[in-house]
Structure 1
Amino acid sequence: MRAVVTVIGKDTVGILHKVSGICAEYNVNVIEVTQSVLQDMFAMIMLVDITDIKGDFSELVGRMTALGTELGLSIHTMHEDIFNSMHSI
């Protein structure tokens, strides 16, 4: 099973480190990452493997959301099935 994590906001040092650190805490493997910095805006999309997640997926979602609030970023974490449903016609 996979999930998609999106991060958008003002660029600061350590965003990727903090997001991937939470993934490591939950035994979530980062499969792919794409990120861009446009002037001072940071945008990142991560595809992660949640097959062997430690704990509940909703806990991971809550931790990512809380990190976003703490850093002033928008962090959304969603199961791949939901992401695919939202982006199909």
Structure 2
Amino acid sequence: MEKAIITVVGKDQVGIIAQVCQSLAQTNINILDISQTILDGYFNMMMIVDMSSSKEPFANVSEQLEKLGENIGVYIKLQHEDIFNKMHRI
């Protein structure tokens, strides 16, 4: 299994989760876990996904998600699980 972490941050609006999930489904990426909160009008979501069956290479998916974020007014970041773990180790 090739796990990755997706973070989404921005001003809350209708359809953020739907559009991100639709983009992942089109690329055959499975969502393993998802957590989202809205704090004082700001949307924050973290997803753990399985990239093993992705139709696109990691770099392409990352670029597509970043462009989607720009289009809907949020920041979307895709990171390999091992890099995410090393960056956030205490």
- TM-score, normalised via structure 2 length: 0.94
1:59 alignment partner AA: N
How many residues are matched? Answer: 89
Structure 2 residue ranges without an equivalent (≥5): none
User: Residues of 1 paired with 2:68 and 2:30: CA distance?
Assistant: 18
The alignment's C-alpha RMSD in Å is: 0.8
The equivalences for 1:1-89 within 5 A come to 1-89=2-90
User: Residues of 1 paired with 2:37 and 2:87: CA distance?
Assistant: 23
1:87 alignment partner AA: H
1:11 alignment partner AA: D
User: Residues of 1 paired with 2:15 and 2:26: CA distance?
Assistant: 16
User: Residues of 2 paired with 1:4 and 1:21: CA distance?
Assistant: 17
Moved over 4 A (4+): none
**1:39 to partner: Cα distance:** 2.1
- TM-score, normalised via structure 1 length: 0.95
Structure 1 residue ranges without an equivalent (≥5): none
